[in-house]
Each structure stands twice: as structure tokens, then as C-alpha cells.
Structure 1
Amino acid sequence: MALTSQLVLNLARRELAYSRRTFTALFLAITIGVTALTAINSFAERIELAMAARSGELLGGDLRISSQRDLQPFVDSLPPALKPDATVLEMPSMASTGEQLQLVEVKVVGGNYPLLGELQIRDQGLQRQPPAGSVWVEPSLLTQLNIDVGDTIELGFSQLTVAGVIDHEPDRVAGAFSIGPRVILAHADLADSRLLQPGSRFRTRLLYGRPPSELDSLQQQLDKILPKGSQLENAREGLETTREMTRQASRYLRLTAFAGLLLAMVSVFLSVSGLLEQRVIPVATLKAIGAPSSLVLQTYLLLLVSTALAAGLVGVTAGMTLQNLLPQLLGNLLPGDLPKPSNQAIGQGLAVACMMTLFAALPPLWRLVKTPPVRVLRSAVPPAGSLFGKIGQALAGMATASLLLIWLAQDFKLGAQASAGLFLLMLLFALAGQAILALLLKSVGIGGLVWRQAVTGLVRRRTHTLFAVAALATGILALLAPSLIQQDLLRQWLVKVPQNSPNHFLIGIQREQVPDITQLLAELGATQFSPQPMIRARLVSIDDTASADLELTTSRARRMAERENNLSWRRLPEPNNPILQGLWWQPNTEQHELSLEKEWAELLGATLGSRITFEISGEQVSGVVTSIRQVDWERLTTNFFVIFSPGVLADAPSSYVTSFRVSEADADSLRQQLIAKFPNLTVIDMRQMLAAMQSIIERLASAVQFMGALTLLAGGAVLLAVVVAERGRVSQEAALLRALGASNRQISAIFTLRFGLLGTVAALLGIFAAVAAGAVLAARLLHISYQPSMALLGLTLLISGLLVTLVGRAGCQRALTESPLTLFRETN
């Protein structure tokens, strides 16, 4: 036993020394695949842990009632046992120092807020509510208004002292999507500020913190009397919802990682197959002199498992290091500080390294040890294996990859669909590559020696060539498609907005203020303003079908049906909103007529003649659809999904809103004078909003490109595996060409052209697929126009072709320097 073990170790050591380049390629392929997998898995796990740990804090309490309406009358009607333990109101407003203005998110807290988690104020520790006449603010507001703690700011009609800086807010969701810095105000100071006006936009939350034994009974009682348009949630359900949301996001992240892992599996397959094909004659010689098949099997299993474990450890270490870069790329899009990952991703990485290596190696290794040595030695040609054997090996590899994908996605249906899609994609790449090879083969007769040898070399090893083409094209697709969409999405936000469009919005205008504000805007040089009434309403029914019973097919349609809508009324149509169906009403009409925005009508299934009913402040108002119009949202003018004919909503509670344009030089002065005279107004600078959106898009795109780079790196490992696997045949071909009189310059040109053709074909296929994928995503997911950058496509083609050429050419350098006799001896 000891002798056998020693013999296995000696043979393994010699084999490793002889085939070190092949094992190096195998090591790199496994390392890259495990790195991508570990980085994404551990990062996804950290997000899941963070969201699970903060679910109760994010909810704000054990039970929460939320609404976009004023719930104070509901609270006043509750018996003492059902009154909330804390209240929260959130709304946009303007904070001012007299000289500078800043749009802020005001949070009004009352009762025993916070019920869960900790509200940390810098240098003051844990707190509940700011003292009377004061506020707490986020650090960014100090910088933006150039103030310090102790200074005074104007908020609404109140002068408030900045009493502290917020370091941590327990129920604050990711701050990147906020419209401005947070300002926390005590509920006792809300009335004096007069921030709440008829038609104001705000969110109300009633929070309950009770013992677990009382929660079910409390929830049942509140559910029976819940106001319309309100939502009742508990921490347990919120946790499950959060987990499902983060679980879905994690699945897609893991599917992204699998693209790199799949390419790594291809390179492992090529490396192992190339290694074992090169060792057919030495293994046959060993068996001919009496070595048992078990010795050969143990030797190669030891080598492959050792390589897989070593590469897996390196990949896990690199992945755990790289996953720390993703939070830095995404910044404050993430839910606060992420906890440390567990060791689960490490175990998965090592398991995957061994699984993909063994499943790639076992079919050819089994065939190697079972092939009779006399068959090999008589022909001196390594047996290629039967067609059924190759098909079986391919099916085994596909089954292994599918099982890994389903396991990593943690969802059988999603994993199976993604697996089928990825393999279909690679199959299409292989078929397209086959067609291109056929065309190249037809051109052999019209080219010279260099062209003929370059093309026939690709065709001769057709299987390896097609694997390399498919893998490299998939890597280019994974990296290029997000880049194309990112460029187009940024153009949508930054370029599609017409130069002369309004650049500010003014909200919270009261009806009696409209004449004075209109006059002031004109005096201050603003243009394109036209205050429009805005009425908050909830959809009740369409054609007598309750909103809850509408057959809606998308989540967006369901949100539109459930949320409160902003209605308006007009006498004349907006000039830039053409009527697509029906007719606009007469200015003096007395009928209850409606005009709908095209997409809103399509999502909710409303058509001309539909009767739609809304609820406004407890009263129902109906109208018949007489026109459907196209809204030009890109102009940033004041638009509404639903517009009533005049007179129907004249007495409904409303505020007014308008967009306007002002020169950049006059913008600050105009905002200051508006807020000084009308403190209840909120001015939104669209330039700041667009800049914030650009920042979000760029961070998300950076994270996607980060994963795309790992995928392309895995594609590079495939190329390296192809080069190493072909090293013996390249050396033999080079020796034969030199023996027949070819110069080093000709041989160098042949290999350069061969790998140049390989890189160009793969780049072309990847580019075509990326353009098609970008078009589908732009149309189906993002709903944006799509104009791929020709410069980016050309640069991708150039860089990909050059990279493949240089790597392939470098791998063949030794074949150009050794003598033909040395090369013949090594390859035979």
C-alpha cells in the first residue's frame, strides 16, 4: 500500500513537471470561475443578512399603518387601546437661511419614536425627538447651507434651531433615492410651521410596538377599521417581503456570476481534455509494462483534485477580497453597513471547484484508462473516442452546469430557464462559428500559404475552435451589453430633455396664492409657467369593476390602481400632447368628461367610453373617457395621467403645481424671493435631480461592468486553455512547416493570422449578440430608445481581436524558437 502510494506521488510529480503549462491553464480557469462565484455569492449574502436584520427597523415598529393621506382624524377616532405608539410624517419642503435655499425631506416624529432601532445624534448619543423649536439635520445640509449646529433655519413659517446632526436613522431606507437631506422635526412644532396645507404631498405612518402575544389580536382589530387607501404591515410579513425581494436580487446576481463560472467550466473542459489527449501514448506505455489502470486513475485524480483545491482556495481568497469592492461601487444605494459574510460562500467555491473539475475529467479519464494499450501502440495515434462517447461527455458537462446553475440560483424554474438560455446562446454562437468556418474554408483556394494554413488550422480542430469562439463571444456579450445600455440610458436623461424645457417645479401652491405667484414669476423673469390644479384621488372602479378586481397583468399596473392618483382639470388641451383617440371637450361643457394618458389607459384597460370613478376626500366622482392623448413627459412640463373637464372638480380640495424655466444666473435669486414671500412652497431644481439620477445609473453600471470584467477574464482563461491544449499540435505543425522549408516569418504570420481570425469571429458574434440583447432590454425592460454607440462597437472589435491575437501568438512563441528535431521528439 505504501509502495503504491509512493509510486502515485512520484508519477504525479513527474506529470506535473512535464505538463506544468496545462495545469497552469487549468489552475487559472478554476481560480477565475471560483473568484467570480465567491465574490457575488458572499456579496449577495451580505445584502440578505443586512435586510433581514433591519427589517423591523425599516418598518419602524411591530405594526405599521401607512398612507398618503392625513390619518389624524382616524387616530382621533381610535379608542385608547388602539392608538399608535409613534407617528411619522414625511414630506418635501424648502429649508432656508435667508441667503441660501435647499430642498429637504422633512420627517415629523411624534409619540415614542423610534420604537425599534436607535436614532443617534452626533455628540448626543441616542435620542427620540428634537427639543421644541429645533431640528436635527443630516451632515450634508450643513455644508449645502453653510451653517453649523446652533444656527437657525427657516422651515415653512417657522424659525428653527439646528440642535444636532443625524448620524444614524433606524428606519431610513437607502439615501441615494432621496430628493434632499433629512430634517427631523418634532410633531409639536408641525402646526406652527404650516407645512401641511390642502393638497400637500406627504406620507403618514402610524407605528405600534407591542408584546408578541398582543400583535395578532391588534392586527385583526386594526384591519377591520383600516381607512381606505391605507396599508397595514407587520414586522414578520415585512421581513418575508424583504427577504423575497433580496432573494430575487441575489438570484440574478448569482446568475451573473454563473456566466463567468460557465466560461471557466468550458476552459476546464478544454484544459483537461487537452491534457488527457496528450497523455494517451505515455499512459498506454505504462499499462503495457504492467502498470494497473487503478494506478493511472489514482495519479490523475490526485493531480486534478489537488489542482482544483489549490485553485479553489486562491479563488475563494480573491473572491472574498473583490466582494469588498462592490459596496464601494454601489455607495449609499445599499441598506446601511453590511454585515460580514459567513463561510457559506467559501464552502460553495471549493465544492464548485472540485465538482466542475471532476465532472469535466471523469469521462475522458475513464476512456483513457480503459483503452487497450495495444490499440494505441499499434497505431501510435491517440484514439478520439466514439461519437457516442463525445456526445455523452458533452451531455454530462451540460447536466453538471445545469445542476450548478439551479443550485446557485436557488430556484429551479429560474435556474432551468437561465441554463437553457445560456446553452442556447452558446449553441447559436457555435453554429454561427461553424458557418463562418465553412465560408473561410471555401476561401482556402484563393489565398496563399499563410492564409491556407491559418484557416485549415482552425478547421482541423473544429471542436476546440467552436468552444473558444462561443466562450469568448459570451464574455464579450456580458461585458458589452450593459455598456451599450448605460450609454443610451444616460443619453435619455441628459440629452433627450430639450434645451428650452422647464428646469424647475413649484409645488404646494394654494388656490388663493395663484395670482400673486403668477405675477411674481413673471416679474422675476421666469417663463413657461402655468399653475395647474392638482387633486389627490383614489381609483374606485372602471366600468363598474372595482379597482381591486381589475385584471391587471403587470406590477406597474397594479401599483397605478392601488396608489393615489393626481388629477387635474383643464379647459384647453396641452399643445404638446396630441389627441390620439376621441375629441377634446368643448370649453363650456357641463358633462363629466375625462382625458387619459395613453399608457395609463393601456395599463388599466380603459378605453373610449369607459366610465371611471375616483374617490376624493370621501366623495366619489365619475366621468366618461372621451379622449386619449400622448403626453410628452420629456419636456418636463406639468402633465397628468387623468384630466377632468372643467367644473367637475372645481370644489374639490386641491393645491396647484407648475413648472417654469429660469436662467441659471437668476435661479438662486428667484428661489429665495419665492420662499421668502411664500414659505409653504417647495421648489424642485430638476438639474439636481438629473445629476442624482446620473450618479445612481453610473454606480449601478459600474457594478454590472465589474461582473462583466470577471466574465471576460473567464473568457480569457478559455483562450489560454485553447492555446495550451493546442501547444503540442502547434509545435508539431511548426516543426513540419519548418522541415518543409517555411521560414519563421511565414510560420509567425500563420499563427498570428489564425488567432486574429479567431478573435475577430468571436468579437463579431459577441457584438451582434450584445446589440440585439441591448435592443430587447431597452424596449422590454427600460422602455427607452436605443442607439448603440458605433465608436464603442468598433473599439470592442479592435481590442478583442488584438487581445486574442496577442495572447495566442505569445502562447506559440516557443514553437518558433526550438529546432524542428526537438519539437518532433517532444510531440512524439
Structure 2
Amino acid sequence: MSGLAGDLGIAARLARRELRGGVRGFRIFLACLALGVAAIAGIGSLGMAVREGLRADAQKILGGDVAVRLIHREASPAERSWLRRNATVSEAADLRAMAYTVRGTAGGDPAQRRRVLVELKGVDDLWPLYGSAAVDGKPVSRSRLDGLLAARNGVHGSGVHGALVDPALPLRLGVEIGDRLRIGGQSFEIRGLLTGEPDRGTRLFTLGPRILVSRAGLQATGLVRHGSLIYFHYRLKLPPGADAAAFVDRLKAALPKAGWRVRSLGEATPAAQRFLARIALYLTLVGLTALLVGGLGVANGVRAWLDGRVATVATFKCLGASARIVFLTYLIQVLVLALAGIAIGLVAGAILPAALAGLVESVFPVTLRLGLYPAPLAVAALFGLLTALAFSLWSVARAREVPPAMLFRQTVSAVEGRPKPLYIAITALLVAALAGLALLTAADPVIATIFICGCAGAFLLFRGLAWLVARGAARLSDPARGVRRGPNLRLALANIHRPGAPTASVILSLGLGATVLVAIALIQGNLMDQVRRQMPDRAPAFFFIDILPHQAARFDAAVDGTGGATRTTRMPMVRARIVRLNGVPAAEAAVHPDARWATRSERGLTYAAAMPEGSRLVAGDWWPADYRGPPRVSFDAELAQGMGLAVGDTITFNVLGREITATIANLRRVQWRTVGMNFTVIFAPGTLESAPHSHIAAVYTEPEAEMRLLAAVNNALPNVSGVRVRDALESAAGILETIGVALRSTATVTLLAGLLVLAGAIAAGHRRRVYDAVVLKVLGATRGRVLRAFLLEYGLLGLVTAAIAAVLGAIVAWAVLTLAMRAPWTLLPGTAIGTALLCLAVMLLFGFVGTWRAMRQKPAALLRNE
């Protein structure tokens, strides 16, 4: 140990003296490490800031300490009495309705009124229990809010209810504050813009602008009818010190068959938490990919730096330094500089949430809780340290084997060969530790395992492709093959396959980053193509909801009367909740996470004698058209697989407080991409007909007849709301575009890491490139010929790398879309070609810069030492 301690002391002094010379040779090393660490630290810190923001605002987001929701029906007197005895209760209701302009339409054609689907919410005088609403950008008190929503005398007459509207509504309808809107059978005066709604939740997708009215105003519309699709909310403020979880248990025990959805603070934002977890996992894996790609830059940077230290190492050996002292000297320097790079990355990652807070809050309705979060920073630092050691140990271990004789031939020779088996084993252990850390910190170990296997496969694949490229270049440049080639091409091919060529590093680093970018671009491009081009061609023009059973004939007559409808499909719809699977409570059943969504809240279901279009039986038989017997259901096959269900199993539904147990008669494969009328659950006739329900209809028409159709239905049936499918798809496309930009931006970090590795690879071969350029100029080659030869080399590498990235990116995108997302695949050649040109341009640019630096070297300065 004393010998090791002495060697360590000597190595530390030597390392300190060498580090005084600066970090010129370590710039790529520092940049690659800092970039990867910053990506992981920033993503982790941003995720923590969002989660802490959701947790801190849970009461405002939920609207109370406990939230209870019913659908189709209000709480019964007994249920309402129990709630009010045990908590302060605020009641609200929301539904979708059609709003249209009143100003300027008196005596005019009702069909010319401007109409829009809105999300209408009626609140009582206790709303909100927590937080405050914002009107025209400013918080308002509860009393002020009550005054804005109350019925009062105004310029348009007496008893007009007030409404606060989403800022997007005036733009859609061409109205302003003081104008009136008609919703159902009631007119409302616009009294302000609703810019803050504390219990709105964290939904990214809505079908229309929000309108806030009083409960009395909502009741006056005439839209609150038995069977209509209305959500009734009861938000509860518990007494001080009360335990919300215990209260929920008491509530469920007291009213076990109420059929309502109950949430406490811990479940305020379940969908948002799941969405954030998936996004955070993806972004973390992209950051880890950038760090791993940057690891190649670390390896190249250390290699280039040690190549420049060959004479110094040989001098140490000549002066009696042992191999261990040499190893420790350079390992200490690597560790010191690695810690510097990690520190830079941690600082950048820590401030990233503050830099992106405005952007995130504009897209995702949450207030970030900014702060310093040690956990993600510690994880990022550990990833960075393991990466630095794993990718640099090989070169440092080889440096210890440099013989003293290298002092006399430093120009041509470099650090070559393999290190001793001990260091190879340590490197393997470090790589295994990286994989283990990725598994340990991942939210989904299965996805993390797939990622690790994918990274290992990608590294091996690109390494193998690089070997094939080098072998192909060697065969093409072989004079024995008898094919005449110009000197520029021969020199370029020779440089691709010569010993020490950067071919493998270039193809691996730039190719991996470009592959990720191509895959994301193709996935998003295919989804956008589906939403914006293919789906609108197959989808209906409108979905009409809240058609009451006695209004079905009038609805059909209104649609037929326009003369523009080409096809109409109408089906009954009941909202129900799955409460048991084969007798096991749904919350306790073994359900795959991808299918768990179906058990969390109410789902729409129907009953039918015939199987709807867009379905195909895969198991069981359809019931007879005149079936009358025990409850039976047809179930979506994919969902059944996730729930572990088969034909003959039972499902228990809670339908408006009544539990119905049905047997699965058959399983269907549903073509959801047609955006047509279909349901995951279809009951056989004879079970649901007497339950309160409404109808939903899909109407197909030509674009020019859409507004005429909407006006005809709305004038005949004011309570019926029309969802314009084209608008919904455009809204979905906008969300996809926003998410796609974020994902592409993150993936660009991987490409940037690849570019840094490319710069490192060029720097690693700079000394050899200078020597080649000098020798060629001495032999009579002109500057232009040498420049063309080197650029041709980089052009060939860039073209090959781009082609490989385009093909592999397309394969990855195809696999994700067809196997994971079960979506159709369309090759988008423009994306692949664009990426190829980008890779080629980047390669030529970096090659030109590296070659120009080599060309500036004077022959005399180099030949003087030969």
C-alpha cells in the first residue's frame, strides 16, 4: 500500500503540473460530457418541478380535498345529505352545448348565425373552494364572481344571466364583451374573459372553448335533462385535520352503490402524472442516448489528447516512471476534467427548468415549482462519471504501455493495441454499471431493458456496418482488381480503410443521432398524415350528441331535410363504469397498464342487434337479432387481452348506480382509425333499453353542406350538440405538432452529441492528417488536389452514414407505428432524403474545417523532426 500511496502522490503532482497547461486537448471531452449530463439533469429537474407543481396545486386542481363525480344524474337527496353533513360541498355541472350569436340576427335567417361547440360549466356560489378564478387576466373574489354570473337588468333587458368566456370564443364568433350568446333556450351576456379556472384540471385536449355560468343559468338553458350527457361534480372541503383517505373509505362504505367516481388529493391529476411519466421516461432515454453517443466523444477526446502526449509519456518512462505512475497520472487528469464537465452539465441542467418554465406553462396547464432538486442532479452526475470512466479507461490503460522508444518516432506512431485484460474487465464492469443505473432509475424497467438492448444492438450494428464500409473501401482501392480510378478517389478510399481511420467513430456517432432524428420525424409525420389527410377522408363530418330517445325521429328528419347528408349512423349510448372483472374488483384485478384506462372512469357503451361497421369477430359468435336473455356483451379484443378476459368471462358494470353483470359473448377487432361509430362494449338487446340514455349520431356530408347541416339540427333541437370532426382532428394535430417539436428538439441533443463526436474524431486524426498533407505536398500534390481528396473521403462517409441512418430510422419508425401503436405506415421519402442531405452537408463542413487546418501546416516544420 505504501508503494501505491507513493505512486499516487507522484502521479498527483505530475497531473497537477500537466493540467496547468490548460484544457485545449479536452474541449470535445468536456463538451460531450457536459451536454449529456445537462440533458439528463435538466430533464430530471424539469420533471420534478412539474410534479412538485402538481402536488402543491393539488387542492386547486381537484377543486377540494375530495372530488365526487356523477354522470347523467345528480346526487340523490340522501347522497347530498350525507355529503353536506360531513363536509362543505360546492356543486357544479358541465356539458357540451352549441353556442351561437344573437347580435344582429333578429329577423334574419337563423341558418346564418355563427355557431360553435362549447364546454359549458355551471357553478354555485361556493365555487371555487380553493384558489380563485381569473377574469380578464386578474383574480376575482367570490362575491365579484357571483355578481358577474348573476341574472340582472342590463341594456338588453332584465333577468339576463352573465357568462365568462374563453378568450378564444370572441375570435371564433366575432363577439365582444357586452354581446349576447344563445345557449339552448337561454341568452347570456358576455361579461368578461375567463383566463383562469382553478379546477379545470390538466387536460391538453378540449372540443371547444369554455364558458362559465351560474347553476341557475345552466338550469335555464333547458339542457339539463334526464339522460343527457352531463357531469355533476361535488367538491368537498373537509374539516381541519380530517384525513382525506379515511373520509373516502367512509364515503364508499356509506354509499357503496352510488356509482360515482371519488378522488382525493393523491389522485388529483392521475392522467397528467401518467402522461408526464411517459414523456419524462422518453426524454431521459434520449438524454441517456446523447450521453452514450457523447461517450464516443469522450473516448475520441482522450485518445486524441493521449496521442499528443506520446512524447511526454515516453519521457516519463525514460526518467524511470513506472507504468502504474503513468496510468495514475492520466487517470487523475481524466477524473479532474470529468468532474469539471459534470459540474458544467449539472449547472446547466439545474437552470433548465427556469429557462423553460414559460414555455412549459404555456403548453401544459401547471405552475412549475422551481428549485434545486438533488436527486436528478445526483443521478445525472453518476451517469456522467460512469460514462467518463467507461469510455476513457481503455485509452488511459493503453497509454501505460507506451515504450520509451516512442520518444524518437512520435510523428507517425500513436497509442495503439489493446490494454491488459484487467482493464478490459473493469471497462466491462463500468458498462454494466451504466446499464444497471439506467434500469434502477427508469420509471418503466421493461422499456429501459428494451432501450439498453437497443443501444447495445445499435452500437454493434453500426460498428459492423463501419467494418463493412472499410472492407468495401479496401476492395475498391485494391489495384489488383484491375479497375482504374483517379488519384483523388484512391486516396479517399485508402483513408477510409487505413489503420486508425475515424470511419467507425464517424458512422457510429453521427449515424446513431441521425437515426433517432429520422425515426421521430417519420413517426410524427405518419401520425400527422393520419390526422390531417387520411382520417378526414374517411371520417364523418359531425358527431351529434345528447339526442334524447324521443327526439330521434326529429333528428333524422332535420338531417334528411338539408339534402346534404350522404350517410347517417345513429346508436344509443349509456355511460357506465367497469367495477368487477370475473367477480374481482376492477382496482384489484390484474390489468395491464395499457388497459387500465378503461377501469378508471365511466365509459360509453351501447346496445345493438347487429354488429356495427368497422368491426370483425375474432372469438365467439354474435347474438341473434331477436335475442332476449341474460346480459351479454361484445368486447374489444385488444382491451380484453389487456384485462386478461376471454369469451365466457364476466364483467360487472355500474350503470347509474345499478350493477349489471354480463357475460362476454364475443370479441371484436375494431378499426378505430376510420373515426366512425363504434364502441368498446356493446350489450345485446334486452338489458339497457330502459336505462336513461341518449343517442349519438355520425353524419357524413360534403364540406360545403356542413354549416347548413349544423344549423338545421341546432334550430330543430337546441339541446343537441354537434362535434365537427375536422375541428377535433385539427386540435389533435396541433397537440401532436407541439409534442413533436418538443421531442424533435430533445432528439436534436443526440445529433448534437454526434456532431461533437465527429469533431472529436477529426481532432483525433488531425496529427495523421497533417502528416499526410505534408507528405502529399512534398510529393508534388497541389493544395486543391489534397483538399478534394480529403473532402471526397468525408463526402463518401457522410453519404454512407446518411443512407444507413435513413434506412434504420425508417425501420425503427415502422416498428413503433405498426407493432407498438398499431397504426398504418407510410414511407415519407422527403424526410429520409432531407436527413441524408443534412448528414452529408454536416460531414463536408466538418471535413472541410479539419482539412483546411491540416493544409495550413508548413512542411518544413514537420520534416525537420524526421
Mean Cα deviation higher: 683-692 or 149-158: 149-158
Aligned equivalent of 1:427: 460
CA contact (8 A) 1:263 1:718 kept: yes
Aligned equivalent of 2:514: 476
Mean Cα deviation higher: 484-493 or 761-770: 761-770
Aligned equivalent of 2:192: 164
Note if 1:274 corresponds to 2:304. yes
CA distance in 2, matches of 1:79, 1:364: 71
CA distance in 1, matches of 2:18, 2:118: 72
Residue 201 of structure 2 aligns to a residue whose secondary structure is coil
CA contact (8 A) 1:66 1:232 kept: yes
Note if 1:101 corresponds to 2:115. yes
1:199-242 alpha-carbon deviations (Å, 9 max, x no partner): 22233332222245322553332121243533333224558997
Scaled by the length of structure 2, what TM-score is found? Answer: 0.83
From 728, 734, 742, give the equivalent of 2:767.
728
Note if 1:179 corresponds to 2:207. yes
CA distance in 2, matches of 1:217, 1:583: 46
Over 3 Å counting, the alpha-carbon distance change for 1:444 and 1:261 in structure 2 is same
Kindly report which structure 2 residues correspond to 1:121-520, keeping only aligned pairs within 5 A, or say none.
121-122=135-136, 125-127=140-142, 129=146, 130-132=149-151, 133-215=161-243, 217-224=246-253, 225-236=255-266, 238=268, 246=276, 249-285=279-315, 288=318, 332-342=362-372, 344=374, 356-357=387-388, 360-361=391-392, 364-365=395-396, 368=399, 370-371=400-401, 374-377=404-407, 381-382=413-414, 384=416, 386-388=418-420, 391-392=424-425, 394-395=427-428, 398-399=431-432, 401-402=434-435, 405=438, 409=442, 418-445=451-478, 446=481, 448=485, 449-461=487-499, 464-497=502-535, 499=537, 501-520=539-558
CA distance in 2, matches of 1:241, 1:32: 31
Tell me the CA shift for residue 172 of structure 1.
Answer: 1.9
CA contact (8 A) 2:201 2:269 kept: no
Equivalent position amino acid for 2:200 in 1: R
CA distance in 2, matches of 1:176, 1:28: 36
Kindly report which structure 2 residues correspond to 1:562-711, keeping only aligned pairs within 5 A, or say none.
563-574=601-612, 577=615, 586-591=624-629, 594-604=633-643, 614-619=653-658, 629-711=668-750
Tell me the CA shift for residue 257 of structure 1.
Answer: 1.2
CA contact (8 A) 2:67 2:264 kept: yes
Over 3 Å counting, the alpha-carbon distance change for 1:69 and 1:524 in structure 2 is closer
Mean Cα deviation higher: 297-306 or 669-678: 297-306
Equivalent position amino acid for 2:184 in 1: G
CA distance in 1, matches of 2:468, 2:428: 23
Q: Please, what is the CA RMSD of the aligned residues?
A: 4.0
From 783, 786, 789, give the equivalent of 2:825.
786
Equivalent position amino acid for 1:771 in 2: A
Scaled by the length of structure 1, what TM-score is found? Answer: 0.87
1:770-825 alpha-carbon deviations (Å, 9 max, x no partner): 22221221134322111231222122223213321331232022333434343345
Over 3 Å counting, the alpha-carbon distance change for 1:696 and 1:779 in structure 2 is same
Mean Cα deviation higher: 156-165 or 256-265: 156-165
Equivalent position amino acid for 1:213 in 2: G
CA distance in 2, matches of 1:708, 1:628: 40
CA distance in 2, matches of 1:488, 1:51: 32
CA contact (8 A) 2:122 2:218 kept: yes
From 15, 35, 39, give the equivalent of 1:36.
39
Residue 66 of structure 1 aligns to a residue whose secondary structure is strand
Equivalent position amino acid for 1:66 in 2: R
Over 3 Å counting, the alpha-carbon distance change for 1:710 and 1:341 in structure 2 is farther
Equivalent position amino acid for 1:107 in 2: K
Over 3 Å counting, the alpha-carbon distance change for 1:594 and 1:65 in structure 2 is closer
CA distance in 1, matches of 2:17, 2:186: 86
CA distance in 1, matches of 2:445, 2:637: 38
CA distance in 2, matches of 1:413, 1:540: 28
CA contact (8 A) 1:511 1:654 kept: yes
CA distance in 1, matches of 2:271, 2:115: 38
Equivalent position amino acid for 1:391 in 2: I
Residue 204 of structure 2 aligns to a residue whose secondary structure is helix
CA distance in 1, matches of 2:190, 2:709: 25
Kindly report which structure 2 residues correspond to 1:756-771, keeping only aligned pairs within 5 A, or say none.
756-771=795-810
Equivalent position amino acid for 2:469 in 1: I
CA contact (8 A) 2:87 2:239 kept: no
CA distance in 1, matches of 2:543, 2:275: 33
1:106-138 alpha-carbon deviations (Å, 9 max, x no partner): 222236322222222336723265334323222
From 827, 846, 851, give the equivalent of 1:807.
846
Mean Cα deviation higher: 306-315 or 289-298: 289-298
Taking only the aligned residue pairs, the percentage that are identical comes to 24
Tell me the CA shift for residue 699 of structure 1.
Answer: 0.5
Equivalent position amino acid for 1:284 in 2: A
Over 3 Å counting, the alpha-carbon distance change for 1:48 and 1:7 in structure 2 is same
Aligned equivalent of 2:157: none
Over 3 Å counting, the alpha-carbon distance change for 1:404 and 1:737 in structure 2 is farther
Aligned equivalent of 2:108: none
Kindly report which structure 2 residues correspond to 1:15-34, keeping only aligned pairs within 5 A, or say none.
15-16=21-22, 20=24, 22-34=25-37
Give ranges in structure 1 of 5+ residues lacking alignment.
Answer: none
Aligned equivalent of 2:80: 76
Matched residues, number: 821
Aligned equivalent of 2:156: none
CA distance in 2, matches of 1:541, 1:352: 44
CA distance in 1, matches of 2:454, 2:531: 31
CA distance in 2, matches of 1:734, 1:587: 85
1:612-638 alpha-carbon deviations (Å, 9 max, x no partner): 665544556566666655544444433
CA contact (8 A) 1:94 1:103 kept: yes
Over 3 Å counting, the alpha-carbon distance change for 1:399 and 1:147 in structure 2 is same
1:557-606 alpha-carbon deviations (Å, 9 max, x no partner): 33335543433344555455555666655544545665445445555556
Over 3 Å counting, the alpha-carbon distance change for 1:55 and 1:741 in structure 2 is same
Equivalent position amino acid for 2:198 in 1: P
